[in-house]
Amino acid sequence: MFGGCYGWASAGRFHHAPSHLKRFLNLFGGYVDRVGNHSFGAALGIMPYVIGRADIPALVAPWETLVGSCELIVLFGGAHLKNAQVEMNGQVRHEAATWFHKAHAAGTRFVNISPSRSDLTEAVDGEWISLRPNTDVAVMLGLAHTLLVEGLHDTAFLQRFCVGFERFADYLRGVPDGVIKDAAWAAEISSIPAERITALARQMASSRTLVATAWSVQRADHGEQPVWMTVTLAAMLGQIGLPGGGFSLGFGRAGSAPPRKVPRMAMPVGKNPVTTIVPVASVGDMLLNPGKEVEFNGRRIRYPDVKLIYAVGGNAFHHNTDLNALLRGWQRPDTVIVHEPFWTPVARHADIVLPATTTLERNDILAAESASHWIAMQKAIEPVGQARNDFDIFADLAERLGFKSAFTEDRDERAWMAWLYEQTRAQAKERGYAPPDFDTFWNDGVHAFIEEAPVHQVFMGDFRRDPDANPLKTASGRIEIFSEKIAGFNYADCPPHPTWIEPTEWLGSAQARDYPLHLLSNQPTARLHSQLDMSPLSRASKIAGREAITMHPKDAGARGIRDGDVVRVSNARGAFLAGARLSPDLRESVVQIATGAWYQAVEPGVPGSLDTHGNPNMVTMSKVTSPLAGAPTAQTVLVQIERVDDPPPMTAFDPPRFS
């Protein structure tokens, strides 16, 4: 049984659908799980070796420590404000724009290194440096080389806090491969002028500088490398652990939320007796190839022969890459069971669909990931039709299977909420917070942790103050610019120090002759992933009923495409239709479409059939970043585009027929 389906589900800590699925399957006897995630999978794989940490969302410099100290923020992949509107388990405060203003007013300069100008808010009057997609590592190496040859790197910091810099410096100088990674070399790959790279390196060295890299940059082939190189560049600047300096990951996601020590509220899922796992980006590969062995993070894993897929709270026909391959794999198991509130693509591809409630039809507790608030999510309406809570569905199944009371522990919704709340409250109290008892909380409707014990800790400040007393959890206790452990794995796609490796597909590769456009799939403005795509808000963002694809006017003109036309986007893996939107704010030869349009093929269930709506995963590839992280490479894909004058209708939102 594959139960490791990925998914955001909805806000609310009790009715968290994937938690109930795991709890249910664990009690039933276990399931094949997935490892890693789509958001920051490459960072999750590499960071334990580099800085000894896997808590990726916490690797941000809090805004409070930036304003007034930070002079320059260099953003690889920008920091689009719309992305900061969303947070796992619910966003409470929407203050990223305010923080950008504060920083700007306090004198921070912003540089947006991205194929898209819109990745930085105009309000901060920043500089846009456009580069070819997936070439960030080359740019960072060019910056590092400039620092090295001009003696602008902090040798004292590198000696005391890092290991392996000399090996890396040799690589910059071209000792092992005869290629000097200077600004001119980086310019050739990225198309950023060499003078701009050298000037930026000098600016970075003479300012208090934050090197901030968006998660998107690592959601690409060899995505481990930009993450490792971000840390290495910051280490060369020597400002890690100082206010306003160092590095930040995922700045473009939730801005930079202050880390609080409020404990996480989460349903206990028990223990999985089955230890078989699949890297998150290889689900399609696993379904297609039972028994295949793959290398993963220093070991070999063998794919199971999956007979049943149980998926709740995620949309497999949204999150997975290479959907035609997934579709072929998805047809192999005997049975697919899905719970869904809506008639989504994953529901359409199931044998059994159990209708689930939404957050409006049940009581729950919202506990935001940044832990600023706990909010009572009181039920607004009775469940519609036959919709039931995921918990109740599993409880009844557990009854028939003979383990109901182990599953429910004889608690209902209210009792579970109170239990979850009180457990977490006790931990919160130990950490110096004072949330009230459950009944008071439920009546008040909200508890704010903001005013209690605010933290203004400088990221990695402890390590910098005393690296012997506060060593990192790496093999050496230091920042590893060279990793002996990774060297031992001998992975061509993940060498033992940050390295430029050509992506399988990019504008500099041979495939660009047939497929001359690099497709980026960013997070949507009008929804969360694929959720509520059928709602008026999301529909209003469509063009000619299809998802909007942004193109440079020159690329469009060369293909006879006008604003508003329906276009066909394709490569050897698949094809989809989209609605053209022209903008000079996107680099030439790059096109961009938001993720999440509900996949609807002309011939449903037939691999290779044209998607009529605009799902970028029709053309993305199954290849993973490297055997180290095994993470998805959604941002590495070349396509061709043509105008379509007589497109087939788009039927993704048509409800099912009941007989």
Ligand X SMILES: Nc1nc2c(c(=O)[nH]1)N[C@H]1C(S)=C(S)[C@@H](COP(=O)(O)OP(=O)(O)OC[C@H]3O[C@@H](n4cnc5c(=O)[nH]c(N)nc54)[C@H](O)[C@@H]3O)O[C@H]1N2
User: For binding to Mo ion (CB under 5 A), which residues are involved?
Assistant: 39
Is 571 a binder of ligand X (CB under 6 A)?
no
**167-206 residues near ligand X, rule: CB under 6 A:** none
Largest CA distance in the chain: 76
| Residue 522 binds: one of ligand X, Mo ion, none (C-beta under 5 to 8 A by kind) | ligand X
Binding to ligand X by residue 115, rule CB under 6 A?
yes
Instruction: Specify the 3-state DSSP secondary structure of 112.
Output: strand
Q: For ligand X, which is the closer residue by CB, 223 or 238? A: 223
Q: How far is the CB of 290 from ligand X (least distance, A)?
A: 24
Q: Which stretches does DSSP call E strand in 14-140?
A: 33-35, 72-76, 109-113, 127-129
Footprint (CB under 6 A) of ligand X, residues 415-454: none
Q: Which position among 6, 185, 215, 433 bears the catalytic label?
A: 6
Beta-bridge partners for 479? 162
Interatomic CA distance for residues 548 and 362, integer angstroms: 34
Phi and psi, residue 441, nearest 5°: -55, -45
Radius of gyration of the chain (CA): 25
Choose, by CB under 6 A, the member of 26, 239, 315, 483 that binds ligand X: 315
Task: Name the residue with tokens 């000037």.
Answer: 199
Phi/psi for 533 (5° steps) reads -65, -25
CB of 97 to ligand X, least distance (A): 13
Residue nearest Mo ion by beta-carbon distance: 39
The number of beta carbons lying within 10 Å of the beta carbon of residue 98 is 12
Residue 63 designated active-site = no
Catalytic residue chosen out of the listed positions 8, 31, 185, 598? 8
Identify which of residues 246 and 524 has a Cβ nearer to ligand X in the complex: 524
In the complex, least distance from residue 471 CB atom to Mo ion, rounded to whole angstroms:
31
Per-residue CA distances from 88 to 72, 84, 215, 397, 501 (Å): 28, 11, 15, 28, 32
Active site residue 500: no
Three-class DSSP category at 171: helix
CB 93 within 8 A of CB 372: yes
When asked if residue 622 is in the footprint of ligand X (CB under 6 A), the reply is no
Residue 600 interacting entry, from Mo ion, ligand X, none, C-beta within 5 to 8 Å by type: none
State the binding partner of 241 from Mo ion, ligand X, none, CB within 5 to 8 A by kind. none
Inter-residue contact 445 to 451 (CB < 8 Å): no
Q: How far is the CB of 543 from Mo ion (least distance, A)?
A: 25
Nearer of residues 345 and 496 to ligand X, judged by Cβ: 345
How big is the CA angle at 466 (ends 460 and 470), to the nearest 5 degrees? 65
Pick from ligand X, Mo ion, none: which does 329 bind, CB < 5 to 8 A by kind? none
**Residue 164: both structure tokens together:** 């392996």
CA-based nearest residue to 318, from 533, 538, 88, 546: 533
Token code pair at residue 404: 């109901």
Q: State the DSSP H helix or E strand holding residue 125, giving kind and residue range, or none if neither.
A: none
Binding ligand X by CB under 6 A: which of 30, 48, 53, 85? 85
Binding of ligand X at residue 550 (CB under 6 A)? Answer: no
Binder of residue 340, out of Mo ion, ligand X, none (CB less than 5 to 8 A by kind)? ligand X
Judged by CB under 6 A, the residue of 221, 224, 390, 480 near ligand X is 390
Nearer to ligand X, 388 or 478 (CB): 388
The nearest distance, CB 432 to Mo ion, in angstroms, is: 31
Q: Rounded to whole angstroms, how far apart are CA atoms 297 and 486?
A: 9
Is 552 a binder of ligand X (CB under 6 A)? no
Does position 581 interact with ligand X (CB under 6 A)? The reply is no
Closest-CA residue to 365 (of 295, 287, 423): 423
SS (H, E, C) 371-426: CCEEEEECCCCCCCCCCECHHHHHHHHHHHHCCHHHHHCCCCHHHHHHHHHHHHHH
Nearer to ligand X, 481 or 526 (CB): 526
Q: Per-residue string for binding with ligand X, 215-244, x by CB under 6 A? A: xxx-xx------------------------
**Closest C-alpha to 637, from 257, 281, 133:** 133
Question: In the complex with ligand X, which residue's Cβ is closer, 169 or 368?
Answer: 368
Question: Residues in the chain, how many?
Answer: 659
Q: State the DSSP code for 610.
A: P
- Choose the one of ligand X, Mo ion, none that binds residue 217, judging by a C-beta under 5 to 8 angstroms depending on kind: ligand X
Query: Mask 132-171, x = binds ligand X (CB under 6 A)?
Result: -xx-x-----------------------------------
Q: Report if residue 14 touches ligand X, rule: CB under 6 A.
A: no
In angstroms, how far is CA 157 from the centroid of its own chain? 31
The item of ligand X, Mo ion, none sharing an interface with residue 260, based on CB under 5 to 8 Å by kind, is none
* Backbone dihedral angles phi then psi of residue 532, each to the nearest 5 degrees: 55, 35
Binding test (CB under 6 A) with ligand X, winner from 13, 14, 17, 286: 17
Q: x/- site string to ligand X, residues 333 to 372, per CB under 6 A?
A: ------xxxx-x-----------x----------------
Alpha-carbon distance 15 to 383, whole Å?
14
* Binding positions for ligand X, rule: CB under 6 A: 6-10, 15, 17, 38-39, 76-78, 80, 82-83, 85-86, 113-116, 119, 131, 133-134, 136, 214-217, 219-220, 252-253, 312-315, 318-319, 339-342, 344, 356, 390, 520-525, 528-531, 595, 616-617, 620, 634-635
Catalytic residues: 6, 8
